[in-house]
Amino acid sequence: MRDLDQLTRDFSEHGFVLIEDLLVGNAKDELDSALTRFLEHIAPTMKKTERVHFSGWDGPVKSLGQMEDYDPFFAELPKRAEFLEIASALLVGEAIPFGVEYFARPPRNDAIAPSHQDNGYFCYKPPESLAFWIAVDEVTETNGGIGYASGSHRAGDLEHEFSGIHGFTQGLTDPEAQLAGYEEVMVELPAGGCAIHHSLCAHRSGPNPTDRNRRAIVLDYRTARAQRDQPRKDRQDAAVKKLLKEKGAGE
Ligand SMILES: O=C(O)CCC(=O)C(=O)O
């Protein structure tokens, strides 16, 4: 049994919590197999707005969005009773799943995720949302692990700017100044472990110079109170549309 009260207190204090045994045994292997199958058979058929490759429009995938629209396994994954119970406790309100994503960091890969709050992408008001970042492979500081600015969810909605990085288009305008005073905690998790972060808890991830793969599946949840700030989202979408057009995916 998980101590949801303790998890909720830790989440409220730090803006993130770790659950090392979210998926174990068969459940962990099942996720690995479903992802492998998805990458091979489904990812190449996805809309270009929902997939990012390390270069061009085929070859290794860097990230994916909207996986729930393409595969029943990924549609059902965020609806598991245990996940909904944890997400609802941490959000202090009924959790509604709204996205399933994939982030790859293959061996000897120098991609990074710039420091950001997820709400820099989601644009929810109030920003009542969180993400389950599930490690499909063991993750450490050395193979592209996430670093959280502990407590930064209390800093409020920070200003973001367009990063120009396809797949990670939003970054904090001045992370050093914006996150001054918040200690960075680097995440270490076994395969099947999970970091859950508030959408205002700033985080980043580094490159993977190791020989080990680092794949992650992300499940996004919000409350019914969280509504899109549409003008903010429209400004962001316009910048992304321009980038996609430059990359040959615009209309
Ligand atoms: O997996 C990564 O490297 C970054 C993921 C991330 O930034 C996120 O889930 O918001």
Predicted confidence (pLDDT) per residue in 160-198, tens digit: 999 989 899 999 999 999 999 999 999 999 999 999 999
251 CA to middle of ligand 1, Å? 28
Do β-strands 203-205 and 168-172 pair in parallel, antiparallel, or remain unpaired?
A: unpaired
Confidence of residue 230 (pLDDT cuts 50, 70, 90): very high
Residue 103 CA: which ligand 1 atom is closest?
1
- pLDDT tops 90 at residue 107: yes
- Mean per-residue pLDDT, 1-14: 96
pLDDT for the residue numbered 192: 98
Measured distance CA(117)–CA(42) in Å, rounded? 29
Residue pLDDT, tens place only, 112-167: 999 999 999 999 999 999 999 999 999 999 999 999 999 999 999 999 999 989 89
> Within 6 Å (CB) of ligand 1, which residues are found?
103, 105, 113, 118, 131, 133, 144, 203, 205, 216, 218
Residue 144 CA: which ligand 1 atom is closest?
3
What's the chain's Rg over C-alpha atoms? 17
Starting at the edge strand found earlier in the chain, the sheet holding 214-222 runs 16-19, 194-198, 129-135, 214-222, 96-105, 61-64, 51-53
Q: What token pair was written down for 225?
A: 């109170």
Alpha carbon 236 to its chain centroid, in Å, reads 18
Measured distance CA(202)–CA(125) in Å, rounded? 17
The neighbouring-strand residues paired with 168 are 165
Please tell me whether residue 96 adopts helix, strand or coil conformation: strand
* Ligand 1 atom 10, closest CA: 118
- pLDDT tops 80 at residue 250: no
Average pLDDT, the chain: 96
Higher pLDDT, 244 or 219: 219
Q: What are phi and psi of 113, to 5 degrees?
A: -110, 120
Please tell me whether residue 235 adopts helix, strand or coil conformation: helix
Which of 205, 208, 215 to mutate for ligand 1's pocket (most ligand atoms within 8 Å of CB)? 205
Confidence of residue 246 (pLDDT cuts 50, 70, 90): confident
117 CA to middle of ligand 1, Å? 10
